[in-house]
Amino acid sequence: MIRKIHLTPANSNLRLDQFLTEQLAGYSRAYLQKLIKSGKVTLSGQTITVNKTALPGAGTITIELPEIAADAPRLTAEEFAYELLYEDAVMAVINKPAGVVVHPAPGNPDGTVANAILGRYPELRSAELPDGSRPGIVHRLDKDTSGCLAIARTPQAQAKLGQAFADRETGKIYLALTAGIPAQIRGRIENLIGRHPVNRQKMAIVERNGKSAISEYEVIKSGVIGKQPVALIKVRIYTGRTHQIRVHLASLGCPVLGDGLYGGVRSCCQVPRQMLHAWKLKLPHPATGEILKLQAPLPEDFQSICRQVDFK
């Protein structure tokens, strides 16, 4: 399978292997590095074999994705118990619950969205990805983030949807409860996000060697839980960097409530997880081009915390 990704100025100077890992959901970085080294990746017609190649601000990356290897690990189909927001013959959108990993990774070999997808769409077994991951995964949500997650039911739909996310033809709006209230009711955050220099589990705003990250936020309403100021914030993201919303809101002094990694844990209430929900998703249908607009209702744990807030 051949996949093409068009570069934009926002991609300038990013590492090739890191960029491809971000763009090709479902493929591990190690696997993509092997493809690069074996000459399966070209940049505007020129073969690139160095993983850390810095990308230009324009051009087209072409990746030759081999068919599944005969000895590749195979996942187990599991029960599909997710709310469907949309489904047809080529794609679906689910309301992912918090606490579920999207695709297998070290420490999470099963119990993932990918396992459940195989349970509902067993025909995808024949389209299994070369590194043992499941097809159908075109973007990601953090384990403890709930909400809209698009699924491809065919390889062709996966390529189309993946390209739509890569080319920023999609729209993503999240809802967050924050520990603290931003000084400005709305704003735009645009900077670089990269790995934290000390804590490798965290991301951070950096001056160089990061990826462009753009978010816009608006405070819907604010109040208190006990003595803790709390805000319900709508966030639109224009890029999909790891932990982007969590990092951006924490940079305002208002980390996502319940987010222990970025300072959102407070003693005001018992918060079961980070209060972040992928609320709305807009994307072109991979077969018809029709713009689909989906919305995931707030889960009960999010609503429960909202009921404890004395909104003003």
Extents of the domains making up the chain: 2-64, 69-167, 172-278+302-311
Catalytic option among 142, 144, 259, 301: 142
Calculate the average pLDDT of the chain.
89
142 assigned to active site: yes
CA distances from 32 to 10, 63, 73, 134, 157 (A): 21, 9, 17, 15, 21
| pLDDT above 80 for 240 | yes
Where helices occur in 24-168 by DSSP H, the ranges are 29-37, 113-120, 155-166
CB 135 within 8 A of CB 114: no
16, 13, 26: which is closest to 47 by C-alpha? 16
- In the prediction, which pLDDT does 1 show? 72
Lowest mean pLDDT among 106-110, 212-216, 306-310: 106-110
Mean pLDDT confidence for 221-236:
96
The 10s digit of each residue's pLDDT in 244-253 is 999 999 999 9
> Higher model confidence: residue 224 or residue 103?
224
pLDDT at residue number 28: 67
Residues 6+ apart with CB under 8 A from 310: 223, 224, 225
Confidence of residue 25 (pLDDT cuts 50, 70, 90): low
Measured distance CA(27)–CA(29) in Å, rounded: 7
Which pLDDT score is estimated for 289? Answer: 95
Q: What is the pLDDT of residue 26?
A: 60
Class of domain 69-167: alpha beta
Within this chain, domains 2-64 and 69-167 share the same CATH topology: no
Q: What is the pLDDT of residue 70?
A: 46
Cα dist from 47 to 7, 14, 60, 163, 253, whole Å: 16, 17, 12, 21, 45
The more confident residue out of 219 and 26 is: 219
Give residue 9's region: left, alpha or beta (phi > 0; psi -120 to 50): alpha
Give per-residue pLDDT as tens, 42-71: 999 999 999 999 999 899 999 987 765 444
CATH number of 2-64: 3.10.290.10
Q: What is the pLDDT of residues 108-163, one digit of tens each?
A: 778 999 999 999 998 887 655 554 455 688 899 999 999 999 999 988 888 889 88
Segment 231-251 mean pLDDT: 96
CA angle 13, 15, 18 (to 5 degrees): 135
Selected residue with higher pLDDT from 279 and 109 = 279
pLDDT, tens digit (0-9, with 9 covering 90-100), for 282-294: 999 999 999 999 9
Q: Report the topology of domain 172-278+302-311.
A: Pseudouridine synthase (3.30.2350)
Instruction: Please give the pLDDT value at position 129.
Output: 54
The neighbouring-strand residues paired with 24 are none
pLDDT at 186: 97
